């Protein structure tokens, strides 16, 4: 395995900064939706697709990246991803209306979807096992902090500037990373000729796209929409994923799978994926719910909301490298168990939030949740991917990214649907709107708290893989 030289550190730093920038845009629209509804004269259901379409595109594109990273060199893949993201950002900045803005978000997401698996695969290729925890700690900053502080940044921007500045300010950074990457990025993986199975691509698009679309549309039911808009995509998605899995099991016999499912032969990887799904569900459910609670129940403005969410995101970023160093010394189990217990305790505490809760309590809860999640993400990413043989790194990275997107959509859909449904029930009983919303918030966090408890027993199965040599056999069947 190559030494973690100055050249390697430059490559990884470029990928880290670039991936942070692109993932930040996944949640930057959340606080901006009311402003966009007013300026673009669109409904709430239309506005939410500016975030949902981003996740939907990610869920469709990421499964393809496992094949993409095996077939092409690192440098052209990076340039393609950042060019797509920069182009989408430019289009969004000058978009004359909703339709063009939505198209721009899809172009942005196409580039974003490539960056995360590219980062994972490159790190697993370049960084020795003994120091991967430290590097994965930096990746955790990208994966968890970027979406966590997205609403904060948009709140700060919208307090003084027009919504277009959310894209105008990001564009120079994206172009700079594209220029630096074009000049400094080198090829660190060895591509090989692999079969591109068009049928698998089509089926995965219907499968993962149907799941995310259906989950993102759940709010329509509680708002009086047609339930078929939810259940038909979910049904199509479930059937398509079953067909996709069957197809991959056939193709992987000759190493031609679009997404190689032999990754799940590793118990450590499988346990990590389950934990990542539950953790992302909790993170994104909270990200979507807390701004609603703070603005609609506590009466705070977008700036105050963004500032209250900032310390938690910053804490997660500060802790991630330290958690990585601890992982390198003691392994993942203790960290993941403590983190999963912490997440559950905080979510149970959030069930006590109501219209009379002081804002400092929300701050403490959010900071505590981010502290607990910081203990989880780095060990999961590191141990999960390290449990695979090198030939499966790209596929494992793609699976991690796909699960993240589906879990994010599920968390958003679950928390919002429970909240709106319970609020509607309370409102029909004559409860004032603020109290009804607070009741919905309570119900959503209650469901989240119950789900979080399932992660605790799984955490005990996340252990540090034994890697005794650099040969691929050292990664086989951990």
pLDDT tens digits along 1-51: 444 477 777 888 888 888 888 888 777 776 777 778 788 887 666 777 787
Please state, in angstroms and as integers, the Cα–Cα distance from residue 244 to each residue in 101, 199, 259, following that order. 32, 9, 9
More confident of the two residues 196 and 207: 207
Q: For residue 262, what are its two tokens? A: 């032999």
Q: For residue 340, what are its two tokens? A: 């999963």
Has residue 276 been placed in a domain? Answer: yes
Has residue 158 been placed in a domain? Answer: yes
Q: Are 425 and 417 in contact (CB under 8 A)?
A: no
Q: For residue 456, what are its two tokens? A: 């605790």
Q: Are 219 and 45 in contact (CB under 8 A)?
A: yes
- Dihedral sign, CA of 272, 119, 265, 3? negative
Has residue 122 been placed in a domain? Answer: yes
Q: For residue 428, what are its two tokens? A: 């029909």
Q: For residue 284, what are its two tokens? A: 């994104």
Please state, in angstroms and as integers, the Cα–Cα distance from residue 105 to each residue in 38, 101, 102, 167, following that order. 19, 6, 5, 11
Q: What is the mean pLDDT of residues 400-404?
A: 82
Q: What is the mean pLDDT of residues 431-444?
A: 85
Average pLDDT, the chain: 81
Q: What proportion of the chain, given as a percentage, has pLDDT over 90?
A: 16
Has residue 207 been placed in a domain? Answer: yes
Please state, in angstroms and as integers, the Cα–Cα distance from residue 115 to each residue in 67, 109, 179, 189, 446, following that order. 14, 10, 16, 15, 34
Residue 85 is predicted with a pLDDT of 93
Expressed in percent and rounded to 5, the helix, strand and coil fractions of the chain are 80, 0, 20
Q: Which of 121-125, 127-131, 272-276 has the highest mean pLDDT?
A: 272-276
- Could you tell me the pLDDT band of residue 135, with boundaries at 50, 70 and 90? confident
C-alpha to C-alpha distance for 171 and 165, rounded to whole angstroms: 10
| Enclosing domain of residue 278 | 6-475
Residue 363 has pLDDT above 80, yes or no: yes
C-alpha to C-alpha distance for 404 and 276, rounded to whole angstroms: 7
| The CA-based dihedral angle spanning residues 38, 42, 48, 53, taken in that order and rounded to the nearest 10 degrees | -130
Q: Minimal CA–CA distance to 439: which of 291, 297, 309, 299? A: 297
Residue 3 is predicted with a pLDDT of 47
Please state, in angstroms and as integers, the Cα–Cα distance from residue 322 to each residue in 11, 17, 137, 329, 335, following that order. 22, 19, 7, 11, 12
Residue 2 is predicted with a pLDDT of 43
In sequence order, which residues have a C-beta less than 8 Å from that of residue 383 and are 6 or more positions away? 268, 272, 327, 331, 332, 462, 463, 464, 465
Has residue 310 been placed in a domain? Answer: yes
pLDDT, tens digit, for every residue of 71-103? 778 888 899 999 999 999 999 999 988 899 999
Q: What is the mean pLDDT of residues 163-186?
A: 88
C-alpha to C-alpha distance for 152 and 303, rounded to whole angstroms: 8
pLDDT, tens digit, for every residue of 235-269? 998 999 999 899 888 888 877 777 888 888 889 99
Under DSSP, is residue 387 helix (H, G, I), strand (E, B) or coil?
Answer: coil
Find tokens 């591509």 and name the residue: 191
Residue 243 is predicted with a pLDDT of 93
Find tokens 């609020």 and name the residue: 423
Of 261-265, 289-293, 460-464, the one with minimum mean pLDDT is 289-293
Residue 212 has pLDDT above 70, yes or no: yes
Under DSSP, is residue 380 helix (H, G, I), strand (E, B) or coil?
Answer: helix
Has residue 273 been placed in a domain? Answer: yes
Its pTM stands at 0.75
- Specify the number of domains making up the chain: 1
Find tokens 């999960």 and name the residue: 384
Has residue 1 been placed in a domain? Answer: no
Of 171-175, 292-296, 345-349, 472-476, the one with minimum mean pLDDT is 472-476
User: For the domain that residue 167 is a member of, what is the CATH number?
Assistant: 1.20.1250.20
Residue 223 is predicted with a pLDDT of 57
pLDDT, tens digit, for every residue of 375-396? 988 888 888 888 888 878 878 8
C-alpha to C-alpha distance for 273 and 281, rounded to whole angstroms: 12
C-alpha to C-alpha distance for 65 and 454, rounded to whole angstroms: 30
C-alpha to C-alpha distance for 191 and 311, rounded to whole angstroms: 42
Residue 478 is predicted with a pLDDT of 41
DSSP-assigned letter for residue 104: H
Q: What is the mean pLDDT of residues 277-301?
A: 82
- Could you tell me the pLDDT band of residue 471, with boundaries at 50, 70 and 90? very low
Residue 469 is predicted with a pLDDT of 40
Residue 172 is predicted with a pLDDT of 93
pLDDT, tens digit, for every residue of 301-344? 777 877 787 788 778 778 878 888 888 888 899 999 999 999 99
φ, ψ (nearest 5 deg) of residue 159: -75, -20
Q: For residue 472, what are its two tokens? A: 């691929």
**Residue 456, Cβ density class (10 Å: 0-12 exposed, 13-18 middle, ≥19 buried):** middle
Please, where are the H alpha helices in 95-145?
A: 98-126, 132-140
The H-or-E segment that residue 397 falls in is: helix 393-428
Residue 44 is predicted with a pLDDT of 63
C-alpha to C-alpha distance for 398 and 256, rounded to whole angstroms: 15
């Amino acid at each position: 395995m190559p030494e973690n030289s100055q050249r390697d550190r430059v490559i990884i730093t470029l990928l880290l900064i670039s991936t942070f920038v692109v993932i930040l845009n996944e949640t930057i629209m959340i606080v901006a939706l009311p402003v966009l509804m007013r300026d673009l004269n669109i409904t709430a259901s239309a506005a939410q697709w500016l975030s949902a379409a981003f996740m939907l595109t990610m869920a469709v594109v990421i499964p393809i990246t496992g094949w993409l990273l095996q077939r092409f060199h690192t440098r052209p893949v990076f340039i393609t991803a950042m060019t797509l993201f920069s182009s989408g950002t430019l289009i969004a900045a000058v978009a004359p209306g909703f339709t063009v803005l939505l198209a721009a978000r899809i172009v942005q997401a196409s580039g974003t979807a490539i960056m995360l698996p590219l980062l994972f695969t490159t790190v697993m290729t370049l960084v020795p096992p003994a120091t991967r925890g430290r590097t994965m700690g930096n990746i955790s900053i990208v994966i968890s902090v970027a979406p966590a502080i997205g609403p904060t940044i948009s709140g700060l921007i919208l307090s003084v500037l027009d919504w277009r500045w959310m894209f105008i300010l990001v564009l120079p950074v994206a172009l700079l990373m594209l220029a630096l990457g074009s000049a400094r990025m080198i090829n660190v993986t060895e591509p090989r000729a692999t079969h591109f199975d068009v049928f698998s691509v089509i089926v995965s698009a219907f499968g993962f796209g149907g799941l995310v679309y259906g989950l993102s549309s759940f709010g329509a039911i509680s708002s009086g929409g047609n339930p078929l808009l939810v259940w038909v995509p979910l049904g199509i998605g479930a059937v398509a994923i079953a067909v996709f899995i069957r197809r991959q099991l056939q193709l992987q016999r000759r190493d031609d799978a679009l997404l190689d499912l032999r990754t799940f032969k590793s118990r450590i990887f499988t346990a990590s994926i389950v934990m990542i799904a539950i953790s992302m569900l909790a993170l994104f459910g909270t990200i979507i719910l807390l701004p609603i609670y703070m603005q609609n129940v506590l009466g705070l403005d977008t700036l105050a909301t963004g500032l209250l969410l900032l310390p938690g995101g910053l804490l997660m970023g500060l802790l991630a490298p330290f958690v990585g160093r601890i992982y390198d010394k003691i392994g993942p189990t203790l960290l993941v168990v403590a983190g999963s217990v912490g997440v559950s305790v905080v979510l149970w505490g959030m069930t006590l939030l109501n219209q009379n809760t002081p804002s400092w309590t929300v701050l403490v809860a959010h900071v505590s949740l981010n502290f607990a999640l910081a203990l989880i993400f780095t060990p999961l990413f590191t141990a999960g991917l390290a449990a695979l043989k090198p030939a499966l790194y790209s596929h494992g990275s793609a699976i991690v990214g796909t699960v993240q997107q589906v879990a994010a959509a599920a968390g958003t859909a679950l928390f919002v649907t429970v909240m709106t449904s319970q609020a509607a029930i309370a409102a029909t009983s004559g409860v004032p709107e603020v109290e009804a919303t607070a009741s919905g918030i309570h119900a959503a966090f209650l469901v989240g708290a119950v789900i979080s408890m399932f992660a605790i027993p799984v955490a005990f199965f996340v252990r540090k893989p034994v890697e005794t040599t650099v040969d691929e056999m050292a990664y086989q069947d951990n």
